[in-house]
Structure 1
Amino acid sequence: MALVQNQQLNRVVVLHSQHTIGRDKNNTSVFTQSDISRKHAIIFWENNHWQLTDLSSNGTKVNGKLLHRATYTLKMNDEIQFSSKSNDVWTVSNLDAPQCYFKELDGSSTLWIHPDGELLELGAQTYAVFKNLEQLWVLDNGSEEVVLEEGIAYTLNGKKFTFTINEAMENTLLTADITKNACFKLFLSFDEEQIISKIAINDLELDLGNRVFNHLLLYLIREKQKDLSFGVTDTSCGWVYMDDLNKAMSKELLKEVDAYYINTLIHRLRKFLMKLKPYGFLFANIIERKKGQLRFGLSKFEINKERALA
């Protein structure tokens, strides 16, 4: 995240990917000084740099030099002055890429979200924040998924936070074709004790290896496959109640399985995907959740059985 701060006003501003400054109330940062224009300037993220463009009548000072109707590439410790007021000096203190974040309503906590998604561990509760196939940010609170909206208060570990969408434009344009063309593949040993999973994207394969969460994925895929065979549409098929899933997984893994164990598997899967290069983070929604139910989220999948696995 990029920051500018004003020592005299004791104020810190997080720069948004398209951050407008001026007297107009629709600007990202509203300044009321009379010599600041309604649309005075814009600071924006482009080609891995932060740029400042002056749009005003009076100009903007950068390090004491007047910038008028021109663009400047910001550097660390630059001093920016939008008005002639002596206390209107903003110092660049961070030039990282833009990031989405949760801001605590009644406190000072800020939770930064990695562009590839984040697992937030707050006390005993773990939350997953990631993008779904429609490229909307989603919060998984352990019982259901909520599409995040700006200006709405969300409770995280007993505290209220608002979510701000703040990301580089190129991140929002990246992914639709990749996820639509992807096929999830499972390779099973004859006794199904070993299961290897991979995500095939054209000529690229992302290898998830032989892990316990593959048993959960196999069960959910088979339930989706069953619904599809009965003619249920892809958008509504495959939902499994958690109680039924616990019983099935207990039988499969030969041990007692409860909702906590299932949630742990899902978090491990998402954590693995978020770190799997280059595109694993695009599939963090591979398991979808609504209250009391789960399902496998991708449309394309294969189950390959009776194969010797090393």
Structure 2
Amino acid sequence: MAALLNNQTQQNCLLQSHHSFGRLKSSVNTFISDVFVSKIHAFIEWNDQHWLLRDVSSNGTWVNGQRLAHDQVAQLNVGDVIAFASKSGYAFEVHDVNPPCDCLIPVEHNSVAIELEYFHLLPSKKSHNRVLSYNSQTYSWWQETLDDNLSQSTRAAELNDQECLDIDGLTWQLQINRTIEDTQLLRPNVTSLDELTFFFQTSLDEESTHVVMQNGEEHIDLLTRSHHYLSLCLARQRAKDMQAGVDDSEQGWVYAELLAKDLGFDASHLNIQIYRMRKQFVDALNNSCESSNIIERNAGKLRLASKFFCITKGDKIECDTRQFTHQESNQHVSQYVNH
């Protein structure tokens, strides 16, 4: 993430997408206590390609010893030195010019800031693990606790910008820097889980499970992963309920405690398997269509959210829940998986 080093304090200044410097503490991102620094002295902004510095002060801003003209814009590069009010004034060196990202920044401890992915696990040694997930429809972050009490409902709580979290006795502050343009890039262009079909290919001994996700003509290989067996078990339960004529809202639900026992998992391991499945799905779809909800949870129960899937064991189709069978598509995916 983009950062400046304060040469006076040797502390990092992590840049927000629109970052202000000045003496008006309540109105700037980085406060500079110097009577020669203007209340709002300068801005650094991300323009989707570069970081740009703009001077709006009375006493000037310098980059590498050269004073900027008032309202002049300068593109920043690693190693540039920025000084406010004079050549020898408060100086910051540019250390990183990567695009802005949401992060957790340490509060009164020297830990490294945590760059947040769309779906991010926060492990804890003293308490329950937590997951932070980004909702691209509301442009907001949500916190979910992975409680080892599997009979309890899992609840998510919305987080505000600058809100503080306690992790193992250390305080971290959420800093939202993401631009709206970044959140609207979708791969592929999916708006509903109903647009997707999952193809499960499991070995005869069920020791390995390969999953391919289909969206129209596009096939996304989710590879062979241990957590796919969990989603396979949930898919089988949903298929069983479909065949029995169970209502859609009631299909596929399995008590988490019973599922963990059947798979030989403890609660923590089951939660991590669910997290890995959800994260892989989020990464594959770039957080589109609330993709973290591929595994639904309710009152201590789990189910696979998708209702369109095909399960193949060995070379035999075990079940296919799609309303219409596309033989050519099945053959194509089978060749893709086996390849």
TM-score, normalised to structure 2, is 0.70
Quick one: which of 292, 296, 302 aligns to 2:308? 302
Shift, 1:128, TM fit: 3.9
Deviations 1:23-43 (A, max 9, x none): 442221233544434433221
Q: Is the 8 A contact 1:186 1:218 kept in 2?
A: no
Quick one: which of 188, 192, 196 aligns to 1:183? 196
Shift, 1:7, TM fit: 2.0
Secondary structure of the equivalent of 2:90? Answer: coil
Tell me the distance in 2 between the aligned counterparts of 1:290 and 1:74: 49
Quick one: which of 151, 166, 175 aligns to 1:155? 166
- In structure 1, runs of 5+ residues without a counterpart are none
Partner residue in 1 for 2:321: none
- 1:1-310 aligned at under 5 Å gives the runs 1-24=1-24, 25-67=26-68, 68-84=70-86, 86-123=88-125, 127-132=130-135, 134=137, 135-143=139-147, 144=154, 145-175=156-186, 178-181=189-192, 182-187=195-200, 193=206, 196-221=210-235, 230=247, 232=249, 241-247=255-261, 250=262, 253=263, 256-270=264-278, 272-273=280-281, 279=285, 283-289=291-297, 292-297=300-305, 300-305=306-311, 308=315, 310=338
Q: Is the 8 A contact 1:186 1:195 kept in 2?
A: no
Deviations 1:33-82 (A, max 9, x none): 44434433221222332111223344322122221212110012212122
Compute the RMSD of aligned alpha carbons.
3.8
Secondary structure of the equivalent of 1:243? Answer: helix
1:146 to 1:164, Cα distance in 2 relative to 1, 3 A: same
Q: Is the 8 A contact 1:101 1:110 kept in 2?
A: no
Shift, 1:157, TM fit: 3.2
Secondary structure of the equivalent of 1:104? Answer: strand
Tell me the distance in 1 between the aligned counterparts of 2:158 and 2:255: 21
Secondary structure of the equivalent of 2:229? Answer: helix
- In structure 2, runs of 5+ residues without a counterpart are 148-153, 317-337
When structure 1 is superposed on structure 2, of 224-233 and 287-296 the one drifting more is: 224-233
Partner residue in 1 for 2:319: none
Partner residue in 1 for 2:323: none
Deviations 1:128-169 (A, max 9, x none): 444346453344442244443333332323433222222344
Q: In structure 1, what residue type is equivalent to 2:37?
A: I
Tell me the distance in 2 between the aligned counterparts of 1:23 and 1:82: 11
Deviations 1:170-191 (A, max 9, x none): 3222239834155141336798
Q: What is the identity percentage for the equivalent residue pairs of Structure 1 and Structure 2?
A: 27
Q: Is the 8 A contact 1:41 1:56 kept in 2?
A: yes
Tell me the distance in 1 between the aligned counterparts of 2:84 and 2:21: 9
Tell me the distance in 1 between the aligned counterparts of 2:176 and 2:21: 18
Secondary structure of the equivalent of 1:89? Answer: strand
Tell me the distance in 2 between the aligned counterparts of 1:212 and 1:43: 45
1:131 to 1:290, Cα distance in 2 relative to 1, 3 A: farther
Secondary structure of the equivalent of 2:99? Answer: coil
Tell me the distance in 2 between the aligned counterparts of 1:190 and 1:34: 72
Shift, 1:17, TM fit: 1.5
1:146 to 1:215, Cα distance in 2 relative to 1, 3 A: farther
Q: In structure 1, what residue type is equivalent to 2:61?
A: T
Q: Is the 8 A contact 1:130 1:137 kept in 2?
A: yes
Deviations 1:4-26 (A, max 9, x none): 12222444311111112234422
Tell me the distance in 1 between the aligned counterparts of 2:114 and 2:299: 26
Q: Is the 8 A contact 1:131 1:285 kept in 2?
A: no
Secondary structure of the equivalent of 1:178? Answer: coil
Q: Is the 8 A contact 2:60 2:86 kept in 1?
A: no
Task: Kindly tell me the number of residue pairs found equivalent between the two proteins.
Answer: 297
Partner residue in 1 for 2:322: none
Tell me the distance in 2 between the aligned counterparts of 1:301 and 1:114: 30
